[in-house]
Amino acid sequence: MDVPMTFLNRNPLEDVYHTFRGFVNPREVENIYKLQDPFMEYLFDETIKQLRLIKNEDRPCAYKKVSGSTIILLVLYVDDILLIENDIPTLQHVKTWLGNYFSMKDLGEASYMLGIRFYRDRSLKLLDLCQSTYVNKVLRHFNMHDSKKDLLPMSHGILLFKEEFLLHNMKKNT
């Protein structure tokens, strides 16, 4: 879901600025970085708490709720929300609920976020995460874009299955 206006459509009470250590000339505005008002983060947290989502201590932009067999994961990144649920009616309810508090645009099923492309095949219950765009960018940066995949220190294109993992662990423990 996209939140069209910066940080969830709220008007900040005050501007917060940050400078790097050693910054001495206040006339050099390009060296001052405007941060989001901490109050905005507080407002979002308080709103999300009404849904009983719990903020992740290690990743303050991630929230979760587990209720019986229903799992809700919400990830906030600047002005985007990635909402993950295992129950479609609950997903629709949460989207509607968030829409009542924030001006939002539902972009549908996620296909790309933070350099990761999502591929999904529901019939096979398959979810694939691909970082090829990022990898290609790094390869171009280091002038290695013509390198061969065969030289990787691992096999590529291998499908892993839960049964293989369990079998491997059983052999390892005996």
Residue 82 dihedral angles phi and psi, to the nearest 5°: -100, 115
pTM of full prediction above 0.75:
no
* Beta carbons within 10 angstroms of residue 72's beta carbon: 22
Tell me the average pLDDT across 158-170.
Answer: 69
Give the pLDDT confidence of 109-128 residue by residue, as tens digits.
Answer: 888 887 888 888 889 888 88
Check if the beta carbon of residue 111 is closer than 8 Å to that of residue 127.
no
- With a CB cutoff of 8 Å and minimum separation 6, the contacts of 4 are 79, 103, 104, 105
* CB atoms closer than 10 angstroms to residue 20: 8
pLDDT digits (tens, 9 = 90+) for 55-102: 888 888 889 999 888 888 998 877 788 888 888 888 898 888 888 887
